Structure 1
Amino acid sequence: MRTIPEGTSTIAVPFQGESYDVLVTVPPAAATRPLPLVLDLHGSNNNAARQAEISGLQNAAEAKGFIVAEPAGDIAFPQTLPGGNWAWNVPGVPLTSGTLPPEGSRDDVAFLRQVVDRIDNLGCVDDRRVYATGYSGGGRMASALACEASDVFAAIAPVAGLRAGRADVTDLTSPEALTCQPEQPVAVMTFHGTADAVNPYLGNTDPRWGYTVEQAAERWAELNTCRVGPALGSYSASVTSYTWTECDGKADVVLYEIAGGGHTWPGTAVDLAAFGLGPVTQEIDASTAMLDFFADHHRRG
């Protein structure tokens, strides 16, 4: 029985002696009807309310019958935004400062599991249809959830942040295989601009990032034992798709490459270019595309 009211509200999520507020949007639906759930994770040096503005998922998910939840990280930056500036504790990965999260930082894989459990208890969630997306550092966090919580998440759709485990410290051009070993296949959709200067499409020598976006997608296709692909598609003038199919558990992998796109969320109404993050394409709406992808993929087993 769903006890979270329709529309957007805040719920408290207890975790290891603390309580954390999470924005939750619930679509109109019968209180006994199980609904799919999407976690929408903000980027580094950002917060949940700002992520809701960037993704527009509250309205998009409400229209398509999804619950959407926007939790916040717990590693603090100097505050410049109302609601604070936060980062996620991506397992084993440095922060944008180049240092690892402080000792004792919140275990965000465990915390986000608790977020799902809390909303499930209050919100009547379909346990086979739990998903995660995220922007930039939130995309890296969503990737970590697929690696470490495949028993919960059926699919992920990172924007400007797909990883398949952390970069190998001995060879940053490759993922470290042992850091991403999901127990079950997880479907993956991702969006990434070729002119992304923060998380470069072609990779870099920063251990926070490292190997290329194509390598990340290819690694997920390997993890999901995809037998066909990548099939090349022309979505629009500047958007090319790479798709792997016939995967275990029907866990397809789709990469949308945005020619000339910046470190931005495709289709957003927020002028991210004004913050020096590069061009925003309107040729594809990432939020609508990922919700359609989620609707086609549920957890099996």
Structure 2
Amino acid sequence: MKYALVCLIFATKSAWAMGPWKSDCHGQTACDLGDRSYHVLEPDGWDRETPLPVLMHFHGWSRQGDVVVRHQRIAGHTKLRGVLLVAPNGRHKSWDFWTSDTDDVSFGDDVLADIARHYPIDPDRIYVSGYSYGGAMAWRYACQSKTQIAALMGIAGTIRQSEHCPSAPTEVRHVHGLRDTVMGFPFGPDGDTTHPVALWRAQFDCGDATLKGDWSVEPFLTLSRMEWTSCAQGKVTLDTHPGGHFIPHGWVGRQLDELLGRTPTYP
């Protein structure tokens, strides 16, 4: 799929000179794709020529992509970092991530392919994220998609850690609240708090974790970070916090800054 995206980028390069997507399909106005749709939001100050990193974010249960493209803890960060935000719409405002037998993965591939027809995207900087049910869908997508994903950014939602994934992102970043009562924190044996990323640690054949300490962007919420970098392939990062089911302030922006090689800032 990555090869197909690259070919599509070169094949449609002449179309970019005409500008981005038509004005009636942007932001809160959905872009139709067959019998489904998605939303797209360009970053501030884009020159309409520079290839764009992409963040495809799967919305939470009972939501749609129009919420994502106006969400300050998501869109508020992509707009400032030169990242194209893409927000697919789930059927019945939800996602089918429970098993590998789902067409939502192929829908995500179709969305990225459609985006590549209309924007000059950077195929080496395709990031996938999601919150709650959308976080689990982001995991499912990274697990099965044929698109090469540079990073999975999961927020308060996973698939079963025992699953086998035929595909994998280059890097995994996940955040989860210890008191989450909606998509409960997946503690491991004896209360192991590293279990939320056990699947990827096993798939990447990672060694011991490195404690990276606490960090925060708002005084009322402190996150604790662990990293696994001694892996046969890939890298895994886990942020935990003492709160519940929400997107932590500044988390998306910090991940993008680190992935893009920028000094982390807020917002």
Q: TM-score, normalised by structure 1?
A: 0.69
1:22 to 23, 32, 39: 39
Distance in structure 2 (CA, Å) of the matches to 1:192 and 1:6: 37
* 1:111 maps to amino acid: F
Distance in structure 2 (CA, Å) of the matches to 1:190 and 1:55: 19
1:1-301 equivalences in 2 (<5 Å): 1=13, 2=16, 3-4=19-20, 8-9=26-27, 10=29, 12-15=31-34, 18-54=35-71, 56-74=73-91, 76=92, 86-92=93-99, 107-149=103-145, 151-163=147-159, 166=160, 175-178=161-164, 180-182=165-167, 184-203=168-187, 214-236=194-216, 238-249=222-233, 251-259=234-242, 261-267=243-249, 285-296=250-261
Is the 8 Å Cα contact of residues 41 and 134 (structure 1) preserved in structure 2? Answer: yes
Unaligned runs of 5+ in 2: 1-12, 263-267
* 1:258 maps to amino acid: H
Is the 8 Å Cα contact of residues 73 and 247 (structure 2) preserved in structure 1? Answer: no
Distance in structure 2 (CA, Å) of the matches to 1:26 and 1:212: 39
Distance in structure 2 (CA, Å) of the matches to 1:33 and 1:157: 24
Is the 8 Å Cα contact of residues 158 and 189 (structure 1) preserved in structure 2? Answer: yes
Q: Deviations over 1:12-51 (max 9, x none)?
A: 3424xx2424233344333332110001111112221223
Runs of 4+ in 1 over 4 A off after TM superposition: 5-8
Distance in structure 2 (CA, Å) of the matches to 1:22 and 1:234: 34
Q: Deviations over 1:215-254 (max 9, x none)?
A: 23132122123345243522257321111113345x3211
Is the 8 Å Cα contact of residues 42 and 84 (structure 2) preserved in structure 1? Answer: yes
Distance in structure 2 (CA, Å) of the matches to 1:64 and 1:6: 23
Distance in structure 2 (CA, Å) of the matches to 1:19 and 1:198: 27
Is the 8 Å Cα contact of residues 265 and 286 (structure 1) preserved in structure 2? Answer: yes
1:152 Cα offset (Å): 2.7
Distance in structure 1 (CA, Å) of the matches to 2:207 and 2:75: 35
Distance in structure 1 (CA, Å) of the matches to 2:109 and 2:193: 26
Distance in structure 1 (CA, Å) of the matches to 2:49 and 2:222: 43
User: Residues 6 and 246 from structure 1, CA distance in 2 versus in 1: closer, same or farther, beyond 3 angstroms?
Assistant: farther
Counterpart of 2:56 in 1: which secondary structure? strand
Q: Deviations over 1:103-161 (max 9, x none)?
A: xxx71100010111111110111111111111100000000111112633111111111
Counterpart of 2:182 in 1: which secondary structure? coil
Counterpart of 2:33 in 1: which secondary structure? strand
Unaligned runs of 5+ in 1: 77-85, 94-100, 167-174, 205-210, 268-284
Distance in structure 2 (CA, Å) of the matches to 1:11 and 1:47: 10
- Aligned pairs, how many? 237
Distance in structure 1 (CA, Å) of the matches to 2:32 and 2:107: 9
